[in-house]
Amino acid sequence: MSKKEAFIQEIAQGYTFKGATIDLGAAMLDKTGLPGAMVRLPLRTMNRHGLIAGATGSGKTKTLQILAEQLSAHGVPSLLMDIKGDLSGIAMPGSSNPKIEERHQHIGIPFLPAGSPVDFLSLSEEKGARLRATISEFGPVLFSRILGLNDTQSGVVSVIFKYCDDHNLPLLDLQDFKQTLQYLANEGKTAMEQEYGLISSTSVGAIMRKVIELEQQGAGSFFGERSFEVEDLCRTDSNGKGIVSVIRLTDIQDRPKLFSTFMLQLLAEIYSSFPEAGDVEKPKLAIFIDEAHLVFSEASKALLDQIEAIVKLIRSKGVGLYFVTQNPADIPEAVLGQLGLKIQHSLRAFTAKDRKAIKLAAENYPESAYYDVAQLITELGIGEAFVTALNEKGIPTPLAHTLLRAPQSRMDVLTDYEIDSILSRSPLVRKYNEVVDRESAHDILSRKVQASREAEMQEELRKQREAAERATAKTTTTRSPGRPRVEKSTFEEIMDSTVTRQVGRTIARELARGLLGVLGLGGRRR
């Protein structure tokens, strides 16, 4: 048996499965595609998570597009993070050209243009259904970890949540949280200490600074109502195709805190609300996190621990997570070890550090008798990648240098008119873009503070009236030789007092000082 025949046999055995599959492309040997060596992915293990890595321009985004549209065709909905703004084209059929036709001839499958049903979502001012969540839904532990608080400060946050629960104060947005924090540190301090214990002003100040930092990254528009229901991500259209939810994040790249906050809340909400699914024939939902380094680079140690725990556990809910980044080193090892599917595009070796990173990246893949992975990983062409997945028994498939199929959908962005047309038909836009402004902690406590101040003012006015009445009732008599006793009014007593005369002299002196200063300046100018 020749080397080529042995290779084709190994790929055929390693990538043949009983259940439904996704045709990803054809395996390559000596940089030539072999139509008889099809690389397939079993739907049954697509909830075992995955990695799509590679240098800029190597084809990562198109690979993501291929997976999402093929999952949609099999009835699996997906969620895409469109940070670079180039994934909207998945909604429209693509078009063929000679290069695509030649590629598919090497692969051995026809190119059939097709679009996928799409909904657009947004965290900010981008067009789409608004994604929001309330502070209460985060809970004290998750909210503290997002803020990066220490144990003492986290304890204060827990007390604030407890106080709001006990006093029916809805914590909906950051204004609610800040108002509650200020109230308990000032007007409500005494009652707070009696019921829950002392809160130090140092902790209050530190927490407030962290909240403002998060607010400056645009989180104010994320917290609030109406809360997004994660079940709306798991929809299919009338033809049974999974709906692709595209979150437009082109204005989020410089706000990593907001992005990581959203991702963690979303994963936590999915994990807490989705029922246990066990081993499923196909995923309930696939989530593709583009530019995944943004999730991990700004995360604290506690936040990373939370993400790692969710990644390990969310698989049992029938959810697959796919991290898209330039280098596998961007993903923490504890998370990387949980990823069953690995698709490695080309890496570039411009520096000694790059060469070390490539060597480490090559060690993430199974050994192969047919490839020098460390060498070939720098020579992969656009639309080529090393692929290894998990078979239906959970065993890694043979490493395959794969010539990937072209996306069936458009490999370009939609026009504004096309996006507006999709949004005009979206039930999610009608559901989540309605402004909801119900009474919350900020409103309730603001009224309480205002009422307290008004009560204090009324009490002060009452004391002043009583003092004035006593002064009016009490008359003073001025005696003078040869003159009758004269009663003075309250106003005359005030104006004749020592304090009033002293104040008058002070005012006159300051006015004169200012006037002389002006005159002196004028004299110097002359």
The answer for residues whose C-beta is within 8 angstroms of residue 44's C-beta and 6 or more apart is: 17, 19, 20, 279, 280, 281, 282, 392
CB atoms closer than 10 angstroms to residue 30: 11
Listed residue (407, 426, 405, 406) closest to 117, CA to CA: 426
Please list the pLDDT of the chain residue by residue as tens digits (526 residues).
788 889 989 999 999 999 999 999 999 998 888 887 999 999 999 999 999 999 988 999 999 999 999 999 999 999 998 888 889 999 999 999 999 999 999 999 999 999 999 999 988 778 899 888 888 888 888 888 788 888 899 999 999 999 888 888 888 888 889 988 888 888 878 878 888 888 888 999 999 999 998 888 777 778 888 888 999 999 999 999 999 999 988 776 667 667 777 787 888 889 888 999 878 899 999 999 888 887 787 666 766 787 888 888 899 999 999 999 988 888 888 888 889 999 999 998 778 888 888 888 888 888 888 999 988 999 999 999 999 999 999 899 999 999 999 999 999 899 999 999 999 999 999 998 877 666 666 667 676 666 666 666 777 777 777 778 777 777 554 444 555 554 555 555 555 555 455 545 555 455 444 544 444 444 443 3
Residues 121 and 77: their CA atoms lie apart, in Å, by 14
Q: Which two tokens stand for residue 17?
A: 């499965």
- Complete DSSP assignment for 459-497: HHHHHHHHHHHHHHHS-EEEEETTEEEEEEPHHHHHHTS
Please name the residue that has the structure tokens 């499958």: 109
pTM: 0.78
Angstrom distance (rounded) from CA 283 to CA 523: 88
Q: Cβ(224)–Cβ(172) under 8 Å?
A: yes
Q: How far apart are CA 327 and CA 473, in angstroms?
A: 88
**Bridge partners, 50 (sequence order):** 322, 341
Cis preceding linkage at 226, omega within 30: yes
